[in-house]
Structure 1
Amino acid sequence: MADVLILVGSDSDKPRIEPAFEVLSKAGVSYEFHVSSAHRQPDLTADLVKNARTKGFRVVIAGAGLSAALPGFAASLTDLPVIGVPFAVGALNGLDALLATAQVPSGVPVACVGIDNAKNAAHLAVRIVKA
Structure 2
Amino acid sequence: MSAWLLSLTGEWGPPLLAWYQANSWVNLLFVAYGVVVLLAWRNYDHVQQQAIAALLAGAKPGEDGRLVLPQTLRLNWSAAVAGLRFPWLTRRGHLRLHACTAENAERLLDPRQTRLAAERTLERMQRKLS
TM-score range, shorter chain: under 0.3
Q: Which has the higher helix share?
A: 2
Q: Which has the higher strand share?
A: 1
Larger Rg: 1 or 2?
2
Q: What is the TM-score normalised by the length of structure 2?
A: 0.21
